[in-house]
Amino acid sequence: MKTKGRSVEKIIEEHVQRWQLLQSKKAEEKFFPVITISREAGSNGRTIAEKLSEKYDLDLFHQEVVHEMAQNAQVSVKLLEQLDEKAQNVLEEWITSLVDSHHLWPDRYLRHLMKIIGTIGKNGRAVIVGRGANFVLKPEKRFRVRVIAPMDMRVDNISKAFGTSIEETRRRIIRTDSDRKAFIRKYFNADIEEPMNYDLIINTGTVSSEQAVSAIAGAMEL
């Protein structure tokens, strides 16, 4: 689902309406877990997420959108309102268990972030890019993907997309990867590069975006 030109409030409203319309169907269908996409800068992870969303009609939550939701208390409350009391209690218990088991120090941002990701996980049928979603959702609620690629390919992808020099692009990639690694370390006390944190790792240096989508679909038996 496209997010350009729409406010976060509007995006939330659309998702909530969609979830409400699908409630009766979901009772009859097999639960579809959230696909979480963690990616190296320039590895085409964002493209893969968009293709998955389009091909399988999944809600798409980009990193920037999830981040804005977590920063906006009103949005966080609005999203949680569509859960019943039992579901909210289960979510709170899960967040508490995560905090305790991973020795986290949850500030206001992290609590909002975990509630938002947890709410998306409760509804399923979504793709979340970044923001440590793979560290928040229960195993039965998610399928964790990590997208990587050789540095030369990543430099070429970003250089072409933004018209930057090779040297500037390389610095940009190193800074972005470092920021993402620091975010995961700070908020989830985990290593973003640890293979055991993922169910499937895809190298787009040897696999195209279309093949990556097929691989994910195959692993999930879609």
In contact, 147 and 212? CB cutoff 8 Å: yes
Q: What pLDDT digit, counting tens, does each position of 32-65 carry?
A: 789 999 999 999 999 999 999 999 889 888 888 7
What's 8-216's CATH class?
alpha beta
Q: In this predicted model, what pLDDT tens digit does every residue of 88-123 receive, in sequence order?
A: 677 777 777 777 777 667 787 888 888 888 888 887
- Given a contact cutoff of 8 angstroms between Cβ atoms, the answer to whether 20 and 122 are in contact is no
d(CA 157, CA 143): 26
What is the domain partition of the chain in residue ranges? 8-216
Degrees to nearest 5, angle at CA 21 with 124 and 216? 30
Please tell me the predicted confidence (pLDDT) of residue 24: 54
**Please, are residues 214 and 222 in contact by the beta-carbon 8 Å criterion?**
no
**Can you tell me the distance from the alpha carbon of 113 to that of 115, in angstroms, rounded to the nearest whole number?**
6
For the entire predicted model, the pTM comes to 0.80
CB half-sphere exposure, 137, CA atoms < 13 A? 29
